[in-house]
Structure 1
Amino acid sequence: MKLQSLLLAAALTLGGLPTVQANEPVSVNDLLNLVQQGQARDDQEFKQRMARFNQSKAEQDRMVADAQAERSRLEQLSAQKEQQFQQNETSIAEAQERLNNRLGSLKELFGVLQQVAGDTKAVFEGSVVSSELPGREQFLTDLIRVAGSSSSLPSIGQLERLWFEMQREMTFSGRIASYPAEVVLPSGETVAKPVIRVGGFNAVADGKYLNWDLETGRLVELDKQPAGRYTGPINDLAAATGTELTAFWIDPARGQLLKIMGQSPELGDRVDQGGVVGYVILVLGAFGIFLAVWRMIVLYSEAGKIRKQMGNETPDENNALGRVMAVFNANKKADTETLELHLGEAIAAEIPRLTKGIGWIKIISVVAPLLGLLGTVTGMIDVFETMSLFGTGDPKLMAGGISQALVTTVQGLVAAIPCVFLHTLTNNRSRELIMILEERATGILARQSEQQTSQTKAA
């Protein structure tokens, strides 16, 4: 019984026998039948697997045969393509050789054509005429590419177009034209404006000069316009008729001079370069000039009163000579020496009135150049400090600093020169008036001395 149980367990483990209940008793005959049934089923499954394997193997053999056939076909096609490629290479080389032989001198002509087209393109890119005729550069770019290509040749139409564009550039360069165009303002905004182009030199709009920008291919309004005498004729040009002659400033450098003029500092910029010392010099100079003008007005007015008093024996105390004559009338009975002292005292009292403020003009004429020298020295100190930090590799940096340092010297001289001139005029005028007073006083003393001498002789 134990043996039957072991065999049954082995059969169940192999999975080849039909399932039976574990607690059912199995006889030896039943076990034999079960083993026989399992063996028959295993044989059937083995045969099925063998059939599937054989079928798969045949399919694989067929696929391998197809792949080998495809490989042979592709190898044959590759050999044909390689042979065709070699034949094409040979045909291209022979055709290129025939083309070069037929071109002859035309090949050099196309080289010259390419060079001319490149030069013309550079001229068009830098010409203000392109603002009126945009898009010309693209044609030249295509022509340069075609002329430099070995697979194509420029056509007759392209050659005639190049001739036409060159002739049109020359024609438009001799015209004054008005047309709408986009203008880039200093703020960066692009605005469409009516533009007046003067040949190939300048373009203007709304009373301002425009510059042709090569990078953007647009008209750009100058950030800093030239002086009024250069921009003034722009409005006259805009209002002129077709037959009217109008004076207009042009830039023969095609905008370069306008840029340089824009970079050059104006009078206000020069004054600002002087700094605090420059402003002090200008204030002193203005004060000195004002003081000198005021003293000249006073002295000329006093001179007129004195001339009027010289023709009148009655003293008028609204002028220096009248006040001196009043002192004489008050001391007629005094002796000559006493009268001389009184007249000298009266003249001495008039001198401060006549020389008032003249000394300050002289001081300003002396101090202004010294302040200018002070500003120059301090400016040069800043220049040398800049050189010690950044070196001497940039001449513009040093030139700009030295220029700013010398501005104070110029300002000092500008303030001193008129002050010296006006001081000389006022000083000479006051001395002339003082000499008149002394001369009249001497004459008075002489007449008084003669009268006293005559009275003494008569007594």
Structure 2
Amino acid sequence: MKFKAMILAAAMAVGCHAVQAAEATSVNDLLKLVQQGQARDDQQTRERMARFNAAHSEQESMLAEARREVSALEADSVRKEQLFQSNETRLAESQDRLTERMGSLKELFGVLQQVSGDTRSVFEGSVISAELPGRNEFLSALIKSAGSSSNMPSVESLERLWFEMQREMTYSGQVSKFATDVVLPTGESTRKNVVRVGGFNLVADGKFLNWDMESARVVELDKQPGSRYNDPVVALEKSSGDQLTGFWIDPSRGQLLKIKGQSPEMTDRIEQGGVVGYIIMGLGGIGILLALVRMLMLTLEGGRIRRQMQSDVADENNALGRVMSVYKKHRNADIETLELHLGEAISAEIPRLTTGITWIKIISVVAPLLGLLGTVTGMIDVFETMSLFGTGDPKLMAGGISQALVTTVQGLVSAIPCVFLHTLTNNRSRALILILEERATGILARQSEQQSKAAA
């Protein structure tokens, strides 16, 4: 190392001498310059060597200090490792003692954890949670502490668990009113006074509500079950505490109400029938209206005929009066001629008494046929759907068949009253025609008797 440094110094000196030699004017000047440069280089070399030796000593002392620190740290590491091993042993011994002392408490906490979990499941689906929020958070903390050996549940927690279970049973037999937020079918939330019927139903403003366990909120049913079930809700909300009133209870806690709300109503059934269904209902309405009009007209005509039967003066505002007018006009004719005139008069009255009855009969026959047509076309659609999507979904087939059979029901609903009304109107018109024929026969009999007496 020293040899390399000396070579480097000599090279630098030679380079410096070469520069100075270029400036020298004689050989003596050059010699002096070389001597001066050599002396200066020796001085610099000695200074560098001194600094190097001083730094080397300092490095030796720093190395010694680092080695002492390493030894101290190693000793401290060994001490801490021994302490760690000792603590591990003591911890294992303490855990064994804790397990031994707990004994049956571990089994008790296991049962407590299971009971708390079951209770939380009941509370999550109970409508009483709408009135008593925050119970599930307590049960979750109790379950967590029951499963931990370091943070065991306290006596106060056990007492509160018993209290919550007893309160659930007590509230399930009461009808109470409280205010809470209700989510409307539109998605908006509003504050309402809610009536709770035990642990079964929630109602407000004459409508059924449902407890959504996932969001832990009270939700209004988007489709109510109908006036038959909603009318008692209004009566319940208006009743006082000591007043008894009827009410529909859903023991499934809202599931039956949802199913009832999903079942189609009368308007939904009519819409399911489609175009054929509307035609059937239209024909049925026309037939019923026509039958009612004919029944009214025949009733009025029957009243006029009965009044005419009590009088010998012919009144041409009724069928019997017009027949009697024909008799009076041809009173002097012979029996055969009078019989023909009376028969002609009765034949003229029959269309007036039977008008529209045939159409009622036609509608009563056509309506079921249209219903069968709608069912057949609906079944064709069902089979086309089955060919596209298969038979894996029974609901798909059941819904299609149900819609197809709606037209059959509509046809029967339209035909049955039409058949009944047709029978009534036909019998009423036949009764009036029989009265006319009976009176005509009586007139002919009296006329024949009078002519026989006159001939004698």
Shift of 1:413: 0.7
Give the AA of the match of 1:386: T
Give the AA of the match of 2:139: L
Deviates more, 1:116-125 or 1:304-313: 304-313
1:12–1:319 distance in 2 versus 1, CA, 3 Å: same
Shift of 1:126: 1.0
Deviates more, 1:378-387 or 1:114-123: 378-387
Does the Cα contact within 8 Å between 2:211 and 2:218 map onto a contact in 1?
yes
Shift of 1:70: 4.0
Q: Secondary structure at the match of 1:450?
A: helix
Shift of 1:374: 1.2
- How far apart, CA to CA, are the structure 2 residues paired with 1:400 and 1:63? 93
1:316–1:88 distance in 2 versus 1, CA, 3 Å: same
- How far apart, CA to CA, are the structure 1 residues paired with 2:379 and 2:161? 58
Q: Are residues 1:356 and 2:343 paired?
A: no
What TM-score, normalized to structure 1? 0.91
* 2:195 counterpart residue number: 196
- How far apart, CA to CA, are the structure 2 residues paired with 1:335 and 1:129? 96
* 1:27 counterpart residue number: 26
What TM-score, normalized to structure 2? 0.91
- How far apart, CA to CA, are the structure 1 residues paired with 2:83 and 2:154? 32
Shift of 1:220: 0.7
Shift of 1:87: 2.8
- How far apart, CA to CA, are the structure 2 residues paired with 1:151 and 1:70? 40
Does the Cα contact within 8 Å between 1:17 and 1:37 map onto a contact in 2?
no
Deviates more, 1:137-146 or 1:47-56: 47-56
Shift of 1:64: 4.4
Q: Secondary structure at the match of 2:16?
A: coil
Q: Are residues 1:412 and 2:411 paired?
A: yes
Deviates more, 1:223-232 or 1:72-81: 72-81
Q: Could you say what the CA RMSD is over the residues aligned between the two structures, in angstroms?
A: 2.3
Deviates more, 1:69-78 or 1:126-135: 69-78
- How far apart, CA to CA, are the structure 1 residues paired with 2:187 and 2:81? 61
Q: Secondary structure at the match of 1:16?
A: helix
Q: Are residues 1:216 and 2:219 paired?
A: no
1:11–1:223 distance in 2 versus 1, CA, 3 Å: closer
* 1:86 counterpart residue number: 85
Give the AA of the match of 2:282: V
- How far apart, CA to CA, are the structure 2 residues paired with 1:87 and 1:433? 121
Does the Cα contact within 8 Å between 1:372 and 1:408 map onto a contact in 2?
yes
Give the AA of the match of 2:392: G
Residues 228-267 of structure 1 mapped to structure 2, 5 A cutoff = 228-267=227-266
Unmatched runs of 5 consecutive residues or more in structure 1:
1-9
- How far apart, CA to CA, are the structure 1 residues paired with 2:365 and 2:55? 121
Residues 144-293 of structure 1 mapped to structure 2, 5 A cutoff = 144-293=143-292
* 1:6 counterpart residue number: none
* 1:430 counterpart residue number: 429
Give the AA of the match of 1:409: T
Deviates more, 1:447-456 or 1:214-223: 447-456
* 2:4 counterpart residue number: none
User: Per-residue CA shift, 1:151-182, capped at 9, x if unaligned?
Assistant: 33221111111111111111222222222211
- How far apart, CA to CA, are the structure 2 residues paired with 1:429 and 1:128? 61
* 1:3 counterpart residue number: none
Give the AA of the match of 1:428: N
Shift of 1:238: 2.8
* 1:326 counterpart residue number: 325
User: Per-residue CA shift, 1:326-361, capped at 9, x if unaligned?
Assistant: 111111222222222211111111111111001111
1:51–1:390 distance in 2 versus 1, CA, 3 Å: farther
Unmatched runs of 5 consecutive residues or more in structure 2:
1-9
Q: Secondary structure at the match of 1:392?
A: coil
* 1:137 counterpart residue number: 136
1:74–1:363 distance in 2 versus 1, CA, 3 Å: farther
